[in-house]
Amino acid sequence: MVDLLQSIQDPGIGEILIQVMSIVKDKDYPANYKNSKELENELIFKKYNQSLTPTWKGKKAIVRSDKIGIMSVHYAIAKYPGIKTLLANSTLAVLRHLRSTKHRINGSAWHLTPNENGTLPIFRDVPLPPTFSKTLREAIIKRVQFVYETIPVNCSTIPSQLADMINHPDPCSKPWPNF
């Protein structure tokens, strides 16, 4: 995706339309963080990989807002004069779109609904590339551990003058919140 965006030299391009690859998300997330092992099992890019082939139905747009007059949900419906749209085929870029099969306003059986020809969707397993998956996994685990597993400050070590200077609630006056 970055390579595609950096390759565009035409200043007249104000919108790039990208195909989506719908991915079945058929489970709920845990209510609370428990530990890194459970987090590892719940990483969405590892857990959900059953997907349809890329399609223009539900396409997504990347826009240069200074070139767009009116946006719809997924694409520009009015561009300034001379501004063009680039259609990125699936060899250049595809967006992975997690689509829940639960709790949907427009019905939860989208993945079981036949298409206009009467055939059921064909799903295939499409995981992220291993190197990217490993890098993403490490970054997520590191960030979540930083947020949830950092030991709270020892209040007795904070000079009272310093505590009085911060514009935040005093972390020593009440217990830390449970997440």
What mean pLDDT comes out for the span 143-170? 73
**Angle CA 18–21–24, to nearest 5:** 150
Q: Are the beta carbons of 58 and 74 closer than 8 angstroms?
A: yes
CA triple 24-39-109, angle to 5 deg: 15
- What are 22-44's pLDDT values in tens digits? 898 888 888 888 888 889 889 99
**Between 145 and 132, where is the model more confident?**
132
Q: State both tokens at 42.
A: 């719940």
d(CA 33, CA 43): 12
Is the model more confident about 7 or about 106? 7
Look at residue 155 and tell me whether its pLDDT is greater than 80: no
Q: Residue 179 has what pLDDT?
A: 45
pLDDT, tens digit (0-9, with 9 covering 90-100), for 86-132: 999 888 899 998 888 776 666 667 777 787 888 888 889 999 999 99
How far is 157 from 151, CA to CA, in rounded Å?
Answer: 14
Q: By C-alpha distance, which of 167, 145, 7, 147 is closest to 86?
A: 7
Tokens, residue 96 = 């992975």
* Per-residue pLDDT tens digits for 30-85: 888 888 888 988 999 999 999 988 888 889 999 999 999 999 988 999 999 999 99
Which of the pair, 145 or 155, is modelled with greater confidence?
Answer: 145
Q: Which two tokens stand for residue 92?
A: 């250049």
Please tell me the distance from the alpha carbon of residue 37 to that of residue 145, in angstroms, as a whole number. Answer: 11
pLDDT of residue 79: 95
Q: Domain spans of the chain? A: 2-150
CA dist., res. 101 & res. 96, Å (int): 16
